[in-house]
Amino acid sequence: MTKVPSPKDVDLVRAVKASIDNGYRLLEETDDLEFRSPPATRYFMAMIAQEEFAKAFLLYLVKERIAPFNAGVRRALNDHSCKQLTGMIMDYMIMHWDEIEELQAAIRSDYEHGDRLPNEVGSALEILCYEKIENWTGRNWVWGEAPAYDQNALRVAEVILP
């Protein structure tokens, strides 16, 4: 297999910016779809925008040398389920609260999880890394025992496990 050289940081920054700009453009285009038919169009445009933001995040991880620029990651950048899994991870990372009680509940939940991620988020991360990216890199490995993935993450990933 031919090794593809990692892109330069300046190119990665440009790609991240382009993905973010494209995500915002897609979201702006959903504004006038509220009263049009079919109503699902707005939902799917927002999903595509989320995928653009997820692609930007994955590219940022490559730029920061957190993720390698390998065949698996390159394929994940184009795979809808991988970008949706990344969206699940990003959604967890972003604090969602309007009232102080919601913030306090989020902090309590994180404290209760200790050093573990919530099952849905941990499952999304493991499916993305192991079931998708690692499999696409051609590495041979197996689980010691079948993982108990969260059903929401499985639906997003469209993974069928033995």
Distance CA 118, CA 75 (A): 26
User: What's the pLDDT score for residue 161?
Assistant: 44
Q: Tell me the two tokens of residue 35.
A: 């009263």
**Do 125 and 50 lie in a common domain?**
no
Distance CA 28, CA 129 (A): 31
**Do 152 and 75 lie in a common domain?**
yes
pTM greater than the 0.75 cutoff: yes
**Do 88 and 146 lie in a common domain?**
yes
**Do 20 and 78 lie in a common domain?**
no
Higher-pLDDT residue of 82 and 46 is 82
Residue 32 has pLDDT above 70, yes or no: yes
**Do 63 and 83 lie in a common domain?**
no
Residue 143 has pLDDT above 90, yes or no: no
Q: What is the pLDDT of residues 60-89, one digit of tens each?
A: 999 999 999 998 999 999 999 999 999 999
Residue 159 has pLDDT above 50, yes or no: yes
**Do 85 and 132 lie in a common domain?**
yes
**Do 32 and 12 lie in a common domain?**
yes
In terms of residue numbers, what domain contains 130?
70-162
Residue range 11-26: average pLDDT? 96
Distance CA 133, CA 118 (A): 21
Looking at 26, 47, 67, which one is the last position of a domain?
A: 67
